Structures are given as C-alpha cells and as structure tokens.
Amino acid sequence: YTEAENDRAADARIARRAEIMKYARAATLADEDALGNRPEPLRLDRSLTDLAIRRCCDALYNALNRDSLESVPVGGVEAALLAWDLTSGIDGAWRVPLTLVSTRRGHRYMFVAILLVLGGCVGSLARSTLKELGHLPLVKRHASQAVERIVEVFARRGHEIATLYLGVPAPSPVPLQEAAERCVEWRYL
C-alpha cells in the first residue's frame, strides 16, 4: 500500500470514530461507553507475513534459549505468534487470529488466540492461566462455536465482551459513507 492509501485509511478510521461518538452522544451514552465500538489502530501495518512471524518467533526462541524463562516476558500477542509458527507445518490447516476486548469492573482486557481450522474441526491456542482459554481441543465444530465457548468462559468470570476481531484488521476499500448506506451481502467467508 502507498502512503496515500494509508493516509486515507487513517482518515476513514478518524471519520468512523467521529460517527460513533456522534451516535453515542445522541443516545446519551458517555464516550467511554462507545469505546468498544471504536476501531483499534492497526498496529500490524500489513506486516503479518510468514517471514515476519518467523523472524519474531526466532528472536523469542533465541531469547528463551539464552535467558531463563522468567526473564523473557511472553504476552498474548507473542504467544499467538508462537502458536501461529508452531502450527505452520500442519498441511491444510487455516490459522485465524482471534482478538477479544473485554471489560470487567471498569478495566479493559485484551485476549489473543489462534483458531486452528482443519478438516471441519476447530480448536484454539492461546496464552492463559485458565486451561479452557489456553487450549481448545481440535474437534468437530464450527468456528462460531469455538468463539462462543471462549466468550462463555469470559462471561462466567464477570467479563463483558466489548469487541471481537476475527482475522487481521485491515482498512476497508469502501468509503465509510457508502458502507453505511449499503446493505451487507454475505456470500462466503
């Protein structure tokens, strides 16, 4: 993408934020109540390539070999990259990033996992102290059922899901105003 295209995408995100806040005020919602609908910045900047993931994971593996495990922080994103890399050798598998943003007692939390789809089976890998979030076995189910199971775990612990991203966020080629007026037609995913 060119710099001009990136600028247009940034302008579209700003315009979307303004629209959300306009509707939030009209519904007498506080700005923070509309935060769950606000698009988060695209920090990956189109850099989620196999080579970029390989380099990132190599650096993590080298650090783990060189230092003690306690001195190398591995967060949710790093764990998802490792899961992505470790499952890259499974022929025919689709690896789909899943990001959940939740709120609990006024605090925001982010959970990142990799959904693994293989032959009608769906599972997930993530970093979590809860076994049911860290690993979902690869069994016959739909991706929506796997996501629903993860959301249920959060709900049982008092979290409310504010935003769910399935896949890697990317700027829309359709201008915001046109997208708002056009009906969504689902063909295939």
Which pLDDT score, from 0 to 100, does residue 152 have?
93
Which pLDDT score, from 0 to 100, does residue 28 have?
47
How is the beta sheet containing 160-166 ordered, strand by strand?
A: 135-140, 121-126, 107-118, 94-104, 160-166
CA distance readout (Å), 179 to 12, 140, 173: 11, 35, 10
Please name which of 83, 110, 98 lies closest in space to residue 145, comparing C-alpha atoms: 98
Which pLDDT score, from 0 to 100, does residue 148 have?
93
pLDDT band, residue 145 (cuts 50/70/90): very high
* 29-81: pLDDT as tens digits: 444 444 444 444 545 455 556 676 677 667 766 766 666 655 555 566 667 77
Domain segments of the chain as ranges: 1-39, 43-170
In degrees and rounded to multiples of 5, residue 150 shows phi and psi of -65, -45
* 80-136: pLDDT as tens digits: 777 777 777 778 888 888 888 888 888 888 888 888 888 889 998 888 777 788 888
Give yes or no for residue 158 having a pLDDT over 80.
yes
Q: How many CB atoms lie within 10 A of CB 67?
A: 10
Which pLDDT score, from 0 to 100, does residue 53 have?
67
Q: How many CA atoms lie within 13 A of 38 on its CB side?
A: 13
